Structure 1
């Protein structure tokens, strides 16, 4: 019978005709054989190795088919980050691609695909355990069927490598012996700290799981999709384990647990996700992108599907909205509130004013309990105005407003003694927090909610005295604040490309001028990354998660990643840079009296060229954004085509852009210049349906 847990050690034997994976610690288990060059997978009890042992690895991340070849992605290096109830947890540190074909591939598209995947794996914070289900909360694990393999117990939302494991999963129906080779990996943040509080040893765990559905970058994925998946959806669980003395380096070891040992596990779960309507912010190289919101009515089926799923998983949802009530964000706020009012039965609204604005809080509650959606509770908090002037402690006002909800939702609490486990309390609801990006303001509020929950948990089990707070213990408070700040940075980098803003408040409990300067730096970096670097990052997400399937048809070769804009459009940034260089050079280089007037005129000419180039790029900014090449968003397709049409009417360059000799293979009405070619093969860009 196959093990329900993945193998901790695997050896690879490589031969011209196959790869063989086998665990030296399980000599009687079937070996995994991958045929070359077909990539067919099979289980063999006693394989003929016929090759040389390449290396020992930590696990198989998965297999992926690109344009010309299939690759096995292996985990070559993993770092131990801690133990949860004796179960070792690792972070993926290094990976390697094993090709099916012997020959070297020199195809531009293939090389770009591999570069995208390698960049994603190099920067992605991915974690795994051989014996502990990182994809599920402690509470969900209590109802799991432990007879199932670890990968089958995994929450499919957070099984990050689910798509690239599909080759192994597909053969599982006929051969369960493949189970120990399937290793679930989560994407997000994980911190495990062994510490002491009030003379009580405990283990503090903070884990954030990023959903693989509608995953992507800041301005390329907003709102929800037709299936109800929210962008930048993350589940964050804070857990405290009291009385745990296990910690064997070999992972979970039942013999290491003292039968008389009483272990208490307490956890608290929160979620974050984009505002659940169809909306987008369209990059155009301006600092503030253009906001687009489709009709709320069209988003109702998707919003209903989203909250139906959330309620089934978490119970009541307390929807904390932190966007601004004025300016461009007001439209997003209004759309969210309209969705909630259409979903709940007989909605009742109430609002509370402040000295600064007419609306500090707004609440929407159902007046009757007739349907599933009546488990939604909407709370708006004017974070921007209430916390203005570095007064972020005023966010505590929000905690007072949802105090009854926090009291009612409780938390998860179990007591374990030996092999016996008793659930004392379960969490019955969840706080779903959002701002525009679900990053900076959201991080501040989530860390506050987590501390409230933690104080309550530790008081209930007697670690803290009534009225006592973890803030009274400097070392623990330092660890707690930095864990949440590190979590904020990791979630932010995955979505926006930089660390989070406002983490000085999370780390120190106060807003500082140094923190404000760091936020300014991050904001500027975000601008450049979001406009000029997020396209490839989005392509990497789509490729790794199976949202885009490369075509192996010859006609798409050497076309997909080539810049097909008109040459004149491409040249404007270079003209701008050259003009600036010449201006600087004319003032730095030595002058002679005879050429002074000529140099001044030349400088003025260069300045005029630079100014015109800058104005052109600003006016037709969408032509200079690094859009995704694999699954271009619909709003980008429309906006790009409209901008290109306007550029063709430009008084200076328009007539040249319309000339066939200059246009050549430009990006046309099909966006990125490839849609017409890709239509030959409809499988290009399809989403894999699992």
Structure 2
């Protein structure tokens, strides 16, 4: 998808096209009421020749106010945001290909722009206020060039298994926990009842490499998706919230497939990590390297912990295997306090579940093991990984090169 921005004093015109520029759509954004989001989509699908005629017509219609002016090329709309005055539109103006999944390109954001919707004649007096400028600067401190990626044709916010077994389109995709800009796109999606003009950004990590084994080219892809729920910096976000969301929840997927033409062999393994699902926190301090862990006694029945594992079960199914790496013994109890409380919570939750649905709890003191000369931490973790795979197995399928889930037009 490519977008071309044109503007005059009254409207923004966004002309969107498919990859080969054979089909075009028109989106109109009103600039006369900048504190309201007024967007209209032309239902007509234009051919390339009709698109050229459309541009001439629009320019002639606005000749009295100066005609149309080109603003920028665009790779997709990130969303719309409003502080105290007008709306701003966040867009991707440059992208860099960082990989491909079955022929579907995956991109990194390399350049963005924030476009104010109000025209020079309609700027509210509030626009230049100190508060408005402060909020704009805070937003601009988020560097979308780091750790953000997206795809125009592959639903990269979902695992391969979900895309293969439970294909979805449109609105539902943005409701997943791994679409970073869900809130920013909510306004335009509500108005248009469509997602074709926006891109779904994933915050995390994407790395792809080709290896050769048994005479075959194998593509190895590692994707980490960070949840938009209850996210934050290390010490400011800990534990679980009332909805069962844990701090800094990350889903990691490893994809392996043969990079050949025709039907492909594909496998996928997914694991999840997050903060210990209890109510706890830590005080941030520049003077204390290891701040105390504060355990809050606000959930004696462990309802939030229970909600967290119910959410995991809905997302991934059974069995749920918990690998807990925190310390068992300390001179001054810190992590060990969490370990004991977590163990208690798992036992109480399991008491209310059928045996076949019990949470599998494995504790291994990583710190203690790595200090031992005879211990091989990697070997132990590999053993745990193989035992987990024996219980959960991994996803495997064969798919043709024409396997697609998404079409913008």
Equivalent positions of 1:114-129 (< 5 A) are 114-122=136-144, 124-129=146-151
- For residue 116 of structure 2, what is the aligned residue in structure 1? 99
- For residue 258 of structure 2, what is the aligned residue in structure 1? 242
Residues of 2 paired with 1:391 and 1:63: CA distance?
Answer: 56
Point out the more displaced range, 218-227 or 38-47: 38-47
What SS does the corresponding residue of 2:388 show, helix, strand or coil?
helix
Shift of 1:392: 7.0
Residues of 2 paired with 1:124 and 1:299: CA distance?
Answer: 40
Map Cα deviations across residues 393-421 of structure 1 (whole Å, 9 max, x no partner). 33422443564432121101001245589
8 Å CA contact retained: 2:95, 2:107: yes
- For residue 65 of structure 2, what is the aligned residue in structure 1? none
Q: Which has the higher helix share?
A: 1
Shift of 1:116: 1.9
Could you tell me which of 103, 109, 113 is aligned with 2:135?
113
Residues of 1 paired with 2:403 and 2:226: CA distance?
Answer: 31
Alignment of 1:282 with 2:283, yes or no, is yes
Residues of 2 paired with 1:276 and 1:80: CA distance?
Answer: 37
Residues of 1 paired with 2:162 and 2:238: CA distance?
Answer: 28
Alignment of 1:31 with 2:47, yes or no, is no
Q: 1:124 to 1:155 in 2, by over 3 A?
A: farther
Q: 1:397 to 1:264 in 2, by over 3 A?
A: same
What SS does the corresponding residue of 1:379 show, helix, strand or coil?
strand
What SS does the corresponding residue of 2:165 show, helix, strand or coil?
coil
What SS does the corresponding residue of 1:23 show, helix, strand or coil?
strand
Residues of 2 paired with 1:393 and 1:379: CA distance?
Answer: 18
TM, length-normalised to structure 2 = 0.83
8 Å CA contact retained: 2:16, 2:25: no
Alignment of 1:230 with 2:257, yes or no, is no
Q: 1:220 to 1:189 in 2, by over 3 A?
A: same
What SS does the corresponding residue of 1:179 show, helix, strand or coil?
coil
8 Å CA contact retained: 2:252, 2:272: yes
Shift of 1:41: 1.4
8 Å CA contact retained: 1:82, 1:88: yes
- For residue 51 of structure 2, what is the aligned residue in structure 1? none
Q: 1:419 to 1:93 in 2, by over 3 A?
A: closer
- For residue 324 of structure 1, what is the aligned residue in structure 2? 327
Which structure 1 segments of 5+ residues have no match?
A: 1-7, 246-260, 347-365, 422-690
8 Å CA contact retained: 1:387, 1:395: no
- For residue 296 of structure 2, what is the aligned residue in structure 1? 294
Residues of 2 paired with 1:190 and 1:33: CA distance?
Answer: 34
Could you tell me which of 349, 364, 377 is aligned with 1:394?
377
Residues of 2 paired with 1:418 and 1:77: CA distance?
Answer: 28
Residues of 2 paired with 1:299 and 1:111: CA distance?
Answer: 46
What SS does the corresponding residue of 1:207 show, helix, strand or coil?
strand
- For residue 43 of structure 1, what is the aligned residue in structure 2? 41
What SS does the corresponding residue of 2:277 show, helix, strand or coil?
coil
8 Å CA contact retained: 2:94, 2:110: yes
- Give the aligned length: 370
Shift of 1:155: 5.8
Residues of 1 paired with 2:260 and 2:83: CA distance?
Answer: 46
Map Cα deviations across residues 187-246 of structure 1 (whole Å, 9 max, x no partner). 10011222312321111110000000001111111001111111010000011111434x
8 Å CA contact retained: 1:135, 1:159: yes
Map Cα deviations across residues 596-648 of structure 1 (whole Å, 9 max, x no partner). xxxxxxxxxxxxxxxxxxxxxxxxxxxxxxxxxxxxxxxxxxxxxxxxxxxxx
Shift of 1:161: 0.7
Map Cα deviations across residues 296-338 of structure 1 (whole Å, 9 max, x no partner). 7446121111110101111221110111112311111112111
- For residue 9 of structure 2, what is the aligned residue in structure 1? 16
Residues of 1 paired with 2:172 and 2:260: CA distance?
Answer: 27
Could you tell me which of 97, 103, 122 is aligned with 1:86?
103
TM, length-normalised to structure 1 = 0.51
Shift of 1:145: 3.5
Q: Which has the higher strand share?
A: 2
Residues of 2 paired with 1:215 and 1:184: CA distance?
Answer: 18
- For residue 203 of structure 2, what is the aligned residue in structure 1? 187
What SS does the corresponding residue of 1:277 show, helix, strand or coil?
coil
8 Å CA contact retained: 1:283, 1:290: no
- For residue 145 of structure 1, what is the aligned residue in structure 2? 167
Residues of 2 paired with 1:391 and 1:69: CA distance?
Answer: 64
- For residue 189 of structure 2, what is the aligned residue in structure 1? 169
- For residue 160 of structure 1, what is the aligned residue in structure 2? 180
8 Å CA contact retained: 2:77, 2:198: yes
- For residue 47 of structure 2, what is the aligned residue in structure 1? none
Residues of 2 paired with 1:380 and 1:30: CA distance?
Answer: 56
8 Å CA contact retained: 1:296, 1:338: no
What SS does the corresponding residue of 1:165 show, helix, strand or coil?
helix
8 Å CA contact retained: 1:77, 1:92: yes
What SS does the corresponding residue of 1:215 show, helix, strand or coil?
coil
Map Cα deviations across residues 536-588 of structure 1 (whole Å, 9 max, x no partner). xxxxxxxxxxxxxxxxxxxxxxxxxxxxxxxxxxxxxxxxxxxxxxxxxxxxx
